[in-house]
Structure 1
Amino acid sequence: MASKEATVYIVDCGSTMGEKSHGRPQSNLDWALEYVWDKITTTVANGRKTALAGVVGLRTDGTENLLDSEEDYAHITVFQELGQVLMPQLRKLRQELVVSQTEDGDAMSALIIAIQMIVSTCKKLQYQRRIVLVTDGRGTMQADDLADITSKLKEDNIDLVVLGVDFDDAEYGFKEEGTDETKAENEAILKQLCDDCGGAYGTLVQAVDELGVPRVKTTKPVPSYRGMLTLGNPEEYDTALAIDVERYPKTMKAAPPSASQFVIRSDMAAGEATQSTQTMDGEEAPNGTNDGLAAVKTARTYQVDDEKAPGGKLDVERDELSKGYEYGRTAVHISESDQIVTLYETSPSFDILGFVDKNQYERYLDMSRSNVVVAQRTNDKASMALSSLIHALYELESYAVARLVMKENKEPRIVLLAPNIEPEFECLYDVELPFAEGVRSYKFPPLDRVVTVSGKVLKVHRNLPNDDLQAAMSDYVDSMDLSTFGQDEEGQPAEYGSMDETYSPMLHRINQVVKHRAVYPDTDPPPPYEILTRYSQPPSELLKAAQPALSRVIKCADVKKVPPKARGRRYGRKEAPKPLSELDVSALLAQDPKRSNKQARIDPKNAIPEFKQLLQTSEELPQLQSACGQLKTIIFDWIKHSVGDSGYGRAVEAIRVMREEMAEMDIAAPYNDVLRELQAKLLGGELGGERKEMWYRVRVNRLGLLLAKECEGGVSEEEGKAFLSAAPAAATSK
């Protein structure tokens, strides 16, 4: 069960908070609110009713609190009573926490108001109580009741956190030059108060800087098994070992928040929806706000074939259905009475089956996250017995293999138990192992030798690295070592990118954007925190230092840059194989005046080969257009004089060849013009009557317009899809 929390934030809204200090582009209040919004939105995201928060404004224009009748409590406003904060309250606070026009207001009085809010709400219940004061320390402050405030904070176990705008903090290394006398005195008072009550005092610079470091959520573990860890059968043998243990998860996957599906409510226009929160059932949200959204609800209906029912389908209830198991393409029915036969009856147990040598276990067999097995709490006998087992495994360098059934009638699992011994903690770590049918064995050719078809083993081969390349690659790997590239707090070499410093970019980036959008719904999300992108690329200093080793690898491996594939017929297409006779047939044909480009005609009986030959000798765009025009005339003639669909196959093949040749030559216009004309004539009935079947074949074979991504001068994907999809509608209208 999550612990109860109660936090009151005291935010200084005085006129001095509207200044922009130390070159910051935002006011001191907006800068301070970065910290406050981060904390409050984290509480809102948790959604726990036991996580309470309240907001008190200090040095506000108005006065609204329990003691507003007294002069000492003027210019203090309770913007949010202590309770659960939801999205409507969050948006309301954003409008209220603005810079005021006054400098009056006592921080000590605001502390008394916050203490009273916590005491009246939490009473004597077990709450983690906290007060966070954010101020620039430039208002008047009465220190007469400092001792009473300290005593009350201690008595009610309230933690005090004071964050000052540009406060001096020697531990963090920040000092403001030219601090006025009033601010210096207030800093001393607040620091003394924190020291007396055991609170935390610091500068806001440090707090805002640390916002970029994700906070790892600590969850209370729930045991997945409580019972006996046995070696042998204790029911039959007195020598069997039985230890009361508990099993907890060691690691858990942290998943980002999931999105919910909503729709605009049917009783509201789309433009009426706002961006405030909405209840799941579509009713009015708290505080009377409504964003016009309703949750998407899923409804399932089950139907069976029935000729007598309307539409041939009969609706049935889920309770009337029976389970069917897929066997090939057939559903095999098993009744509930027979279902019992398939149930593998088990009872909760944790039995050690045997032991394996530590050095013989392969780590790739791990199948699940790790769990920790400890002795039963407050059971000294179990602790002593489990400790003996752990030390025996550790000294013999062995692992235990056990069969685990966590709950009744649950499937059994095989787990590996590994000992762990620390100065003040001993346990067994377990990880799930595969069964025999869960292991897939694949054979790959060896990397250090080449085996020929005849069975001969080659140690030297063009596909095998030589000694120089092996040495060069080894040096390159050593030069990219990250284990000592970083520095610790003392400046000594340490691991770069340790586990404690690496965070899931997806998880924390989504949380960052969601929290920002909750407070600022109309602004763009901020850039990701630097720590989330820090380790996405290797450090530039290390790359520069490893460049000589990389150059040696390139030289030893004889690496050559592959030139990019140029587009166009002159560079994109492969050269034709040279004949054994060494005669250039294309050149001989080109010398024949009857076969010149200006006079060459494509024979319909050999259209496709002659079209390709004609393109080989074409040098300019008009020649390409002439060749495509001749083939177009032949295609149209095939379609027009086709008996039924007898000529459609040749026409489709010719269109395909024209499309491929134009794409290879990086020219789209000739083909696209032909296809547009073909579409108009086919759907207009100009090629021998009804020829829509031919256009259907063009669509089925995906012979649409050439796109821009395929060659230069092509159309966009949207235009290409519209060209094909509009064809049936055009045919219908005709």
Structure 2
Amino acid sequence: MIFNGRKTDQCGVILFGSEETDNIISEKSGGYEHVCEYIPVAQPNSGTLAKLDALKPSEVAGDPVDALIVGIETQDVYLAKKKSWTRRIIILTDGENPIEIEDWEATVNKMNALDIALTVVGVDFDDDEFPFHEEEKSNIKSENEAFYHKLTDALENGIVGTCAYALQEISRPDIKQVKSALMATVIRLGDVDVRPDEAIEVAVKATKCTALARPKSWKKFSSREHGEDISMGGEDEEESKTFFAELKMRTEYYIDRGSHDDDDDANSEDEEGSEAAGRKNDNLEKVEKEQLIRGFKYGSTYAPCPDGQFPRLPTRKGIDICGFFHAKNFRRELSMGEVQYIWADPGSPQQQVALSSIVQAMYEKDVMAIARWVSKDGMDPKMGVLAPSMFEKIDCLLWVQMPFADDVRKYTFASLSHLVSKKGESITKHPYIPTDEQMDAMDKFVDAMDLMEAGEKDEEGNREPWFDTRLSYNPAIHRTKQALFHSAVVNDIVTNPLNPPHPELLKYLEPPKRVVKRARDAVEECKQVFKIKEVPRKVAKPRKDGHARARDEDEEMLLLDLKAPKRTHPQSSSQAIAAPRTPAPSKPAADSDTETEEEEEEELLLAKKPGPSNHPLPTPARSLSPQVEPGRAPGRIIGTTYPLRDFKKNIAQGDVVTKAVEDLGVVIKEIVMKPFSSRRYGELLECMETLRDVSLKEDEIDAWNAFLRDLKESCLSEPGNQEFWSEVQKLGRCISLISGPEAAKLGGISNIPETAAEVFIQQ
């Protein structure tokens, strides 16, 4: 109850066997002695645990039936105006107290009339399901235990259990069931302001379908020095106790003016961290928060925002449907956050019929809606999808937020099965291309790991799936909960350590033994076929000062050093210096090659700054993509880095036109056949236009026509690049073969008819 924190989860504690008598019945009519209302009915808190922890065993005999009757009356008086509340009574006993069993049937009738559930938790009670049976049990306990079973059997809702099983069930993971409040909003389809006759507006309510749960947060404590505000009983007591206090965190801002004179880097540190940072770096200068401007990270830079936030859009509260799309095109991996129900207004039948019509139409067409949700007027909009959901007696929509286009990152990788050489030739045998034997071995391994029939058998003897999402729990949440309450009810965790996790919490942390055994042969076959060997662990070399520290996950990867000179040629790794990726000024298309000098720097971005005794970290190998070629190939005058610039430079000389035309054609084809060439399409098309123009004017017509035929054949073959050839076709006739009439205008010769040139680019 404390962990869930619901206001409607309330309880009270009544003691029987107490020395004093203090209960609601004895105050009115007397009797019911040695029964005490210890904790009044209320929402439990840490004080409740402290009071329970103060209880000690009593030598006074008390009647549990008297306590049960007092509990029924106390509960009924408290819940006089709360008829819908669930009523439950739990009796915790060792079964050794004498019981007055006269007229117990009247008590049963009263509990059934009030719909009270009774649970009897007995210390060392017999339980066949647990299982547990106490040996040499006293006669009075045996009789009392039999009475409790008789009592609960007569109730409509009663059960008897042993205390050991109850303690085990306390650590069992449980799901916190919550009821979400109805939030009023409206769904709009069409423009209700400009064309109200063609638009639909439905009043709806939104509630949570799922809710994110996180482990309870931890607070930091540290031993504190004894101050004047702490009262001590004496010197001996002061020396024997250690006091802890919660750390109060504060943020301080520093600017490193050491090697970053041209650009200040503001770092925030906590109280303890700032002092340590100041000792390590004398170049840190403290600044006040008022001197700083808030910035939002965009890529590798920060966009300053002096006002603290950018201007909001003039939005209106509601859910606007922007369009519909087929459900099969929904990408589930892009869904963000929690799912919400969208219900029609419960008090308006007309609105319910309207929303139900929309839901059923979407369901029949198998479509989902793209919607824009604004929670309040002027708030930032959220984009998401609405999916139809039809229950037995009600129809509704399910909403889930989706990312904006700018928030989606597309990472492309080189093909695992199609490799292309630098010459544009397809490679069929390579260490990165799996063989048929390796494919078969992996298929067997995947089949052996099938978990769909790895669970327990059902009533018909068929095995069920091993994993059930309804029975899987977050270990962090429930283990934290168990640790919190163990520490709350135990005085000394050294002598009474935390119990191991509940078996349900560990069920899915280890694979089922049946599957492991079944996959053993497939694993061995994979080891042999793939020649798997254990990779030796790399030991981090200590720094000069003898201290080695790993980077934190959220630590900036880029070190700002604007004083470092910009490299114009690739350097050795021992000279690499980490530099920032700042936005470069706009460049012509020719400078967007994958092999530019900026991207050569990016490969050495994670190398350590050279020092007297350390070595730079090696750059990761680009195993699946062709190696970056820093310059021109031997024998060529045109390079792949800046092909258009090299071509124009050689044409200006005037004596190497034929060689320049030939090399540029080879370079264009080579780049087109490389993976990830789509980023250079604009640059390559510009190269082709320039090459055609020069070929026509310098009487290199045959060279152009031969190049274009070869390029088309290569693009349309396998693996090829049909996408690039489609871009070429969009340019039309002006990029096609040079025909005879076209060449004759400038004194050239070509045997290509005009119609053939038009058909060539269209096919």
* Interval containing the TM-score (normalised by the shorter chain): 0.5 to 0.7
d(CA) in 2 for partners of 1:46 and 1:371? 21
Listed as ranges, the matches of 1:172-211 within 5 Å are 182-204=140-162, 205-211=164-170
| Contact residue 312 and residue 380 of structure 2 kept, 8 A | no
- 1:546 paired with 2:519, answer yes
- 1:477 paired with 2:435, answer no
Question: Which range moves more in the overlay, 242-251 or 204-213?
Answer: 204-213
Cα 1:489/1:116, change in 2 over 3 Å:
farther
| Contact residue 79 and residue 96 of structure 1 kept, 8 A | no
Partner of 1:215: 174
How far off its partner does 1:531 sit?
A: 2.2
**1:171-208 alpha-carbon deviations (Å, 9 max, x no partner):** 77777687666445434433343344423213225433
Cα 1:415/1:332, change in 2 over 3 Å:
closer
Cα 1:167/1:346, change in 2 over 3 Å:
same
Partner of 2:400: 431
- 1:503 paired with 2:473, answer yes
**Residue type matched to 2:480 in 1?**
I
| Contact residue 164 and residue 202 of structure 1 kept, 8 A | yes
Partner of 1:144: 102
Question: Which range moves more in the overlay, 151-160 or 212-221?
Answer: 151-160
Query: SS of the residue aligned with 1:494?
Result: coil
d(CA) in 1 for partners of 2:302 and 2:416? 45
Contiguous gaps of at least 5 residues in structure 2: 235-241, 255-284, 542-573, 575-609, 615-763
How far off its partner does 1:331 sit?
A: 9.0
Residue of structure 2 aligned with 1:249, choices 193, 197, 208: 208
| Contact residue 224 and residue 249 of structure 1 kept, 8 A | no
Cα 1:543/1:148, change in 2 over 3 Å:
same
Partner of 2:66: 109
How far off its partner does 1:511 sit?
A: 0.7
| Contact residue 232 and residue 352 of structure 1 kept, 8 A | no
Partner of 2:374: 405
Residue of structure 2 aligned with 1:362, choices 315, 331, 356: 331
Query: SS of the residue aligned with 1:415?
Result: strand
How far off its partner does 1:271 sit?
A: 7.6
| Contact residue 234 and residue 242 of structure 1 kept, 8 A | no
**1:295-351 alpha-carbon deviations (Å, 9 max, x no partner):** 666789999xxxxxxxxx999998xx9976579999967579xx9x93311111212
Give % identity: 28
- 1:376 paired with 2:333, answer no
Query: SS of the residue aligned with 1:543?
Result: helix
d(CA) in 1 for partners of 2:179 and 2:63? 40
**Residue type matched to 1:142 in 2?**
E
Question: Which range moves more in the overlay, 64-73 or 140-149?
Answer: 64-73
Query: SS of the residue aligned with 1:462?
Result: coil
- 1:388 paired with 2:319, answer no
Partner of 1:58: 16
Query: SS of the residue aligned with 2:519?
Result: helix
d(CA) in 2 for partners of 1:125 and 1:427? 31
d(CA) in 1 for partners of 2:339 and 2:88? 35
Q: Which has the higher helix share?
A: 1
**Residue type matched to 2:419 in 1?**
V
**Residue type matched to 2:503 in 1?**
E
d(CA) in 2 for partners of 1:90 and 1:377? 42
Partner of 2:760: none
**Residue type matched to 1:398 in 2?**
V
d(CA) in 2 for partners of 1:534 and 1:375? 41
Cα 1:455/1:382, change in 2 over 3 Å:
farther
**Residue type matched to 2:434 in 1?**
P
Partner of 1:349: 318
Partner of 1:513: 483
How far off its partner does 1:84 sit?
A: 4.5
Cα 1:389/1:51, change in 2 over 3 Å:
closer
Query: SS of the residue aligned with 2:471?
Result: coil
TM-score under structure 2 normalisation?
A: 0.57
Partner of 1:643: none
d(CA) in 2 for partners of 1:248 and 1:223? 5
**1:54-86 alpha-carbon deviations (Å, 9 max, x no partner):** 3233345x3433367999744545443434444
d(CA) in 2 for partners of 1:477 and 1:538? 14
d(CA) in 2 for partners of 1:180 and 1:158? 30
Cα 1:244/1:192, change in 2 over 3 Å:
farther
**1:30-62 alpha-carbon deviations (Å, 9 max, x no partner):** xxxxxxxxxxxxx344556664333233345x3
**Residue type matched to 1:441 in 2?**
K
| Contact residue 370 and residue 385 of structure 2 kept, 8 A | yes
Residue of structure 1 aligned with 2:506, choices 533, 538, 541: 533
**1:488-543 alpha-carbon deviations (Å, 9 max, x no partner):** 55353112131122111111111100100011142132222222223222123321
Residue of structure 2 aligned with 1:456, choices 425, 439, 458: 425
d(CA) in 1 for partners of 2:44 and 2:70? 19
**Residue type matched to 1:495 in 2?**
P
d(CA) in 1 for partners of 2:184 and 2:425? 56
How far off its partner does 1:703 sit?
A: 6.2
Query: SS of the residue aligned with 1:162?
Result: strand
d(CA) in 2 for partners of 1:247 and 1:528? 37
Partner of 2:655: none
Query: SS of the residue aligned with 2:469?
Result: coil
How far off its partner does 1:270 sit?
A: 9.3
**Residue type matched to 1:222 in 2?**
A
d(CA) in 1 for partners of 2:111 and 2:378? 53
Cα 1:478/1:134, change in 2 over 3 Å:
same
d(CA) in 1 for partners of 2:97 and 2:458? 38
**1:392-421 alpha-carbon deviations (Å, 9 max, x no partner):** 222222221112112111112221122223
d(CA) in 1 for partners of 2:189 and 2:397? 14
- 1:419 paired with 2:388, answer yes
How far off its partner does 1:132 sit?
A: 0.4
Partner of 2:723: none
Q: Number of matched residues? A: 499
**Residue type matched to 1:493 in 2?**
R
d(CA) in 2 for partners of 1:551 and 1:271? 68
How far off its partner does 1:465 sit?
A: 1.2
**1:89-115 alpha-carbon deviations (Å, 9 max, x no partner):** 4234223243x446x332111112222
d(CA) in 2 for partners of 1:182 and 1:346? 74
d(CA) in 2 for partners of 1:388 and 1:365? 28
d(CA) in 2 for partners of 1:406 and 1:295? 37
d(CA) in 2 for partners of 1:134 and 1:348? 54
**Residue type matched to 1:514 in 2?**
L
**1:416-468 alpha-carbon deviations (Å, 9 max, x no partner):** 12222344453322222222222222221012221222222234322111122
Partner of 1:732: none
